Amino acid sequence: MSVSSDMWWSPWREAEGSLILHVDLRPDPDREQQALAVLDHDEQARWNRFLVKKAQRQYALCRAALRINLCERLGCPNRELSFGYLEHGKPFAKVNGAPADVSFNVSHSGQHGLIGFAHRDDFGVDLEVRTPGRDFEGIGSTVYGPRERLALAATTGRDQAVLFYRLWSLKEALIKALGTGFSLSPSRFEVPTPMLEGEPSAVFRFPHRPTDAFWLEDLGEPRFAAARAYRLPTEEAASSKARSR
């Protein structure tokens, strides 16, 4: 695969068996041309259906970075890499038609993207660029639970924007790790109480799946809100449940 040394992605976080790359989505015609050339026929057709240039750029740069890094991790040429989709649309990688032993997740917002890789199922990452001046309490009333809405109502100004996007990235990462998309309303669950009180990470269980434990981690930084979530192995889930009693 021919790609210049001017890569538009770089390592951002690595821990707990996962690697997260940051993808630079700023306008750059040369990079965008390179990225488009990496995509297969179906992906180029999808790129062409985007009506907004920004959406085209985000898709091409993120998808090409995903392809290039998957091929490197799997040791396969680009032409052998394809994607399948689970029931609710979550993609998985295939090499010569066979499912590959690597999980990944992609998120982008504004001029930033994240691509996470892990050797585990049920893995999700999310990134949200903070946009000030929105009706945070009004929007929050449809996507947040009672304790989350109270926390949001207790803040104002920039602090309210920071909390809104922190909560949203945490919930979105959990939904992506679960893999059911928005068939599960984000208002049906709340982030763990310790994280509402400011802790950077905690164990989480969906109300409708209490036996499955997920590790949830706030990865936010000054440029954007971000989060990572993944399902804990059975033995770790049992240990965390025993400690919480």
Domain boundary among 68, 103, 138: 103
Residue 27, burial from CB neighbour count under 10 angstroms (0-12, 13-18, 19+): exposed
Q: Is 13 a member of any domain?
A: no
Confidence of residue 243 (pLDDT cuts 50, 70, 90): very low
68 and 142 belong to one structural domain: no
239 and 129 belong to one structural domain: yes
Which one has a higher pLDDT value, 235 or 65?
Answer: 65
Q: Is 50 a member of any domain?
A: yes
Q: Model confidence over 2-40: pLDDT tens digits? A: 454 579 999 999 987 899 999 999 999 999 999 999 999
Q: Is 136 a member of any domain?
A: yes
Give the rounded percent of residues in the chain with a pLDDT score beyond 90.
Answer: 78
pLDDT of the residue at 148 = 96
Confidence of residue 245 (pLDDT cuts 50, 70, 90): very low
Confidence of residue 181 (pLDDT cuts 50, 70, 90): confident
Q: Is 86 a member of any domain?
A: yes
Pairing of strands 123-128, 112-118: unpaired
Overall average pLDDT of the 189-206 stretch: 96
Domain boundary among 49, 70, 103: 103
129 and 223 belong to one structural domain: yes
Q: Is 18 a member of any domain?
A: no
Residue range(s) defining the domain that contains residue 175: 125-243
Q: Is 68 a member of any domain?
A: yes
Q: Is 14 a member of any domain?
A: no
> What is the model's pTM?
0.91
161 and 214 belong to one structural domain: yes
89 and 179 belong to one structural domain: no
Q: Model confidence over 221-231: pLDDT tens digits? A: 999 999 999 99
pLDDT of the residue at 6 = 79
Q: Is 85 a member of any domain?
A: yes
Q: What CATH number does the domain containing 90 carry?
A: 3.90.470.20
Q: Model confidence over 75-100: pLDDT tens digits? A: 999 999 999 998 878 899 999 999 99
